[in-house]
């Protein structure tokens, strides 16, 4: 199989936090709370674009392709089990959201200073 080159690689964030997707809890197919959505990635190679969610978990960050997302509501429900991520508790969700929010604040401050 030939490797596709990525022509454009975009990471999207929302202006409000938590947003409609960013900051939502992620539940895998085994009903384990495994992280929160950090951002959305769109990769646009030649034949067809791919959309993925970047999930921030405990000491890890990983990509989930959109076809592995079962539903998005109050939480993001995955259609797959994520074995390489430890389950998290509500206090972890709060901490992870705070970390993401601090990253976004820092990013916007840097962008405004340019």
pTM of the entire predicted model: 0.86
Chain-centre distance for alpha carbon 15: 15
Tell me the average pLDDT across 95-110.
91
Helix, strand, coil distribution of the chain in percent, nearest 5: 25, 40, 40
Degrees to nearest 5, angle at CA 90 with 35 and 10: 25
Tell me, what's the pLDDT at 17?
Answer: 84
Tell me the average pLDDT across 12-37.
93
Q: Across-strand partners of 43?
A: 9, 50
- Domain definitions of the chain by residue range: 6-112
28-59 pLDDT tens trace:
999 999 999 999 999 998 678 899 999 999 99
Chain-centre distance for alpha carbon 112: 24
Q: Taking the CB of residue 54, how many other CB atoms lie within 10 A of it?
A: 17
Enter the CATH code of domain 6-112: 2.30.30.240
């Amino acid at each position: 199989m030939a490797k596709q080159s990525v022509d454009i690689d975009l990471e999207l964030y929302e202006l409000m936090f938590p947003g409609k997707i960013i900051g939502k809890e992620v539940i895998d197919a085994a009903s384990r709370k495994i992280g929160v959505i950090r951002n959305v990635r769109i990769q646009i190679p030649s034949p067809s674009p791919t959309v993925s969610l970047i999930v921030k978990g405990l000491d890890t960050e990983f990509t989930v392709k959109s076809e592995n997302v079962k539903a998005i509501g109050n939480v993001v429900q995955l259609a797959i089990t994520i074995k390489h991520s430890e389950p998290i508790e509500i206090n972890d969700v709060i901490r992870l959201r705070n970390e993401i929010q601090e990253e976004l604040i820092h990013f916007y401050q840097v962008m405004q200073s340019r």
